Chain A
Amino acid sequence: MGATAGEIEHVYRSRYAAFRRALAAVTGSYDTAHDVVQEAFARALSARTQFRREGSLEAWIWRIAVRLAHQDRDQLARRPLDEPATNAIAIDGDPDLARAIRSLPPRRRLIFFLRYFAGLSYSDIAAVCDISEGTVAAALAQARESLSRELEEVVGR
């Protein structure tokens, strides 16, 4: 039972970018996302004996990270919970994408990022967000449809 430090380090080294990328969608900045990633892995490291191997180690760390990211966001009282944190996704010269993603509800945006920016499987997203795979699939379909519609409008202008 439990995970080894080496296993956690392996997840960190191979998946750091994915963690930071997806968490930036929650926290609003890559810097804050980096801090959340560091803290999440630190907590995973210190609590590794509690990992029960009932799911993937990465999904377990994702749960810690997403919870921390939401705590971090909640602590920023200046930003209401429902306000999308999308500074990190407003890439230079691409305001249309930021606007399109900003239009997604926060939970759907997180699921979208976990899938297409962090590369998680439907089952891992379900484990991270504590929802069923069917709900994941539905949320992704809705997100894709919303984004596609928004982006088509941009292209059609």
Chain B
Amino acid sequence: MTLDTHDELTAEMASELTPETLRYVVRLRANEPPAVLDWEDVVSRGGRSARKVARVRGRIVAVAFATAVLVLAVPTALAIAFGRIDFGSSDPAPEAVVAEFATLDTAAPPDMAPQVDARQTRSVRTVTAGGVRYPLYVAPTRTGGFCYQWSGSFGGCDRLGTTPLSVSWGQRLVGGHVAAAYVDSVEVVLASGDRRPAEITWVSKPIDNGFFLFDPGSADHVVAVVAIADGRELTRQQPHRPALTTSPPALADLERAKEEVRIETPDGAASILAAPSRVGGRCYWIVLGGKTFSFWSSDGCLPAGYEVDRPAVRFLRTGSRTVIASVSNDEYTELEIVLDSGRVSRVPLRSFALASVPATEGAVTGVVVRGVGHRSHTFTAPADDRP
């Protein structure tokens, strides 16, 4: 699971620069055009390069691959029962795939290692999307979750297996997983307005999740993925969820919502609210002048068992001021608000913090969240967080 974070300039780096140079660096970083990630394009280009290499290497690799696909396709079909693939009787994944899964822990930062049990990686199924075949490999983690990979496309880990809906967005392809405990089906919403069911490959315990890969075709594209439970929309994800939302997170149990911190501003009250998620976990959102804002580009809720492992900061600009909202954990104690004049204001951070900076005092260029043991995260103020 990936939470939306602003690009960081670490305190160590910032400390090497003079205030003048730092201010310019922060401004330049804040003024760059939006990122346009396109992993499918990378894969496509990589395929072209790989094909060149393959021609040089001859037919041996191609024959081996074709054999592997045949070996995978036939036995995995036998493991399907009652619409759910029995993980335990699925075939072991090829050694090369097992080796790849084994590196997931070594490649991750120490506190984010999924603790995957790579030896248990299974070949679950091969699906075809957009005319391309994608084998699905899945392995359990030692903490109740799983890692998965659509070979040649999306993959990821849900360390605890508690995320109700996780979506990966490609230029055209959309993929992801849903937790069987919470979700019955998935629908994709297309730009044309059509809603279509996504074919889900359900995998039995200990995975207990469904995996989907959807190709809308070249004439349309996916604008939202909706998880359905008991015939109703449980939650949804969009590729570019704006900071301003129309309502609190869909999963939030609003009857148990609590205002964690509140300040008054000339543009109305600002507050950070928290509520338990209806599927476990916890949701956070901001209200400013009666409008609702999300902390993250996902649905605003952390799945059960997941904690706020790093600070999140939102910059909300009204006509007269910038309101800064932060949610964190108890390892972080203070916000340093940096203005373009070079002035720094400090605000205590006790899991939550709100601050209001009038425009007359200058433009907010960034925030440094400081914590114990020299922990710090620096957030540059983006140009587009305007109510």
- C-alpha spacing A10/B2, complex, angstroms: 10
Give a binary string over A4-34; 1 marks a CB under 8 Å from any B CB, 0 the rest: 1111011011001110110010000010001
Determine whether the beta carbon of A140 is less than 8 Å from that of B35.
no
Tell whether, in the assembled complex, residue A18 and residue B7 are in contact, meaning their CB atoms are under 8 Å apart. Answer: yes
Question: Are B13 and A119 in contact (CB-based, < 8 A)?
Answer: yes
What is the CA–CA distance of A7 and B107 in the complex, to the nearest angstrom?
A: 7
Cβ of A62 within 8 Å of any chain B Cβ, yes or no, is no
**B155 → chain A closest CB, angstroms:** 5
The majority secondary structure among interface residues of chain A is helix
Pick the contact of A117 from B25, B33, B155 — CB < 8 Å? B25
Q: Which residue of B lies closest to A151 (CB)?
A: B20
Closest to A7 in B: B107
Cβ-neighbour of B45 out of A10, A34, A38, A155 (below 8 A): A38
**Interface flag for B138 (CB, 8 Å):** no
Is the pair B17, A144 in contact by a Cβ cutoff of 8 Å?
yes
- Asked whether A144 lies within 8 Å of B42 as measured between CB atoms, the reply is no
Complex CA gap A70/B21 in Å reads: 26
CB pair A148–B21 under 8 Å, yes or no, is yes
**Most B CB within 10 A of own CB, among A44, A46, A89:** A46
A93, chain B: closest CB distance, angstroms: 9
Q: Are B2 and A13 in contact (CB under 8 A)?
A: yes
Contact between B16 and A46 (Cβ–Cβ < 8 Å)?
Answer: no
A59 cross-chain contacts in B, Cβ below 8 A: none
Is B100 among interface residues, defined by CB-CB distance under 8 A? yes
B291 to nearest A CB, angstroms? 28
A116 to B26, CA, bound (A): 9
Name 5 extra pairs, CB < 8 A, besides A47-B49, A144-B21. A12-B42, A13-B2, A44-B46, A97-B27, A144-B18
